């Protein structure tokens, strides 16, 4: 019986020792976990403190700058600064007026350009119509004249000075030559229809039908032709 009690005592003592060791190990583990968490939290608090300190410094610097600005704003400007301000204001107003004037001129130029463009289109159409009419009139003159009116059929030696015909100036003579009329004989053989056609083709160059051309050209042609021998 005593032996059993001794065994129970030994077992109970061993259990107490083992339990104490396990408890000590568990307590130490919990202590390390808590210490690690505390160190981590302490490091975070230190970082927060440092960030707050830097932010506090920045806020103080900003406050100082704002105080300087407020002091500068509260100080009345000197005469020199006020004069410079007025000068800048006048320059700005002058520049604004110049810009507005240039903008108005630009709008006017755009309107004028639009009108000129429309007028140019109208002139092009009118020119095309006049060219078509001129081609038709040239065809009428060429077919109605008894002498061929092709300019390339006459050499420079066979051409006559059309300005000697009464009523023909150099400008009209140049236009007649462009139509293939280069000799006195061609002008002398003009019919009334030919003269009216010439007037329509030349337009503003002739205010009336050149009826005197035929007689003058006929006289010059007779002077040019040699007399017949008996």
Mean pLDDT, residues 171-177 taken together:
86
Chain position carrying tokens 């002091």: 71
Q: Is 47 domain-assigned?
A: yes
Strand positions, DSSP E, the chain: none
Statement to judge: residues 67 and 98 lie in one domain: no
Mean pLDDT, residues 125-139 taken together:
63
The enclosing H or E element of 149 equals none
Number of independent structural domains in the chain: 3
Q: Is 134 domain-assigned?
A: no
pTM for this predicted structure: 0.35
CA geometry: angle 160, 161, 162, nearest 5 deg: 100
Dihedral angle computed from the Cα positions of residues 226, 214, 163 and 138, in that order, rounded to the nearest 10 degrees: -120
Statement to judge: residues 64 and 91 lie in one domain: no
Q: pLDDT band at residue 153, thresholds of 50, 70 and 90?
A: very low
Q: Is 229 domain-assigned?
A: no
Q: Is 136 domain-assigned?
A: no
Q: pLDDT band at residue 150, thresholds of 50, 70 and 90?
A: very low
Residues 6+ away with beta carbon under 8 Å from 206: 172, 198, 199
Statement to judge: residues 31 and 59 lie in one domain: yes
Q: What domain range includes position 65?
A: 1-75
Q: Residues 160, 193: contact at Cβ < 8 Å?
A: no
Q: Is 33 domain-assigned?
A: yes
Statement to judge: residues 38 and 90 lie in one domain: no
Statement to judge: residues 154 and 206 lie in one domain: yes
């Amino acid at each position: 019986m005593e032996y059993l009690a001794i065994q129970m005592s030994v077992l109970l003592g061993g259990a107490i020792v083992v339990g104490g060791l396990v408890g000590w190990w568990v307590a130490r583990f919990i202590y390390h976990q808590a210490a690690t968490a505390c160190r981590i939290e302490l490091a975070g608090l230190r970082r927060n403190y440092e960030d707050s300190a830097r932010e506090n410094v920045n806020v103080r610097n900003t406050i100082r700058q704002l105080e300087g600005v407020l002091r500068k704003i509260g100080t009345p400007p000197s005469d020199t600064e006020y004069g410079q301000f007025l000068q800048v204001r006048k320059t700005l107003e002058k520049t604004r007026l110049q810009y507005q004037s240039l903008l108005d001129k630009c709008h006017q130029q755009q309107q004028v350009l639009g009108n000129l463009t429309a007028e140019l289109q109208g002139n092009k159409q009118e020119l095309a119509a006049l060219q078509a009419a001129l081609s038709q009139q040239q065809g009428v003159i060429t077919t109605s004249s008894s002498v061929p009116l092709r300019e390339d059929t006459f050499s420079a030696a066979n051409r006559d000075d059309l300005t000697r015909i009464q009523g023909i100036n150099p400008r009209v003579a140049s236009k007649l030559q462009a139509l293939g009329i280069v000799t006195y004989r061609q002008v002398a053989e003009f019919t009334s229809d030919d003269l009216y056609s010439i007037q329509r083709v030349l337009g503003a160059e002739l205010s009336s039908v050149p009826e005197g051309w035929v007689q003058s050209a006929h006289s010059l042609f007779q002077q040019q032709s040699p007399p017949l021998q008996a």
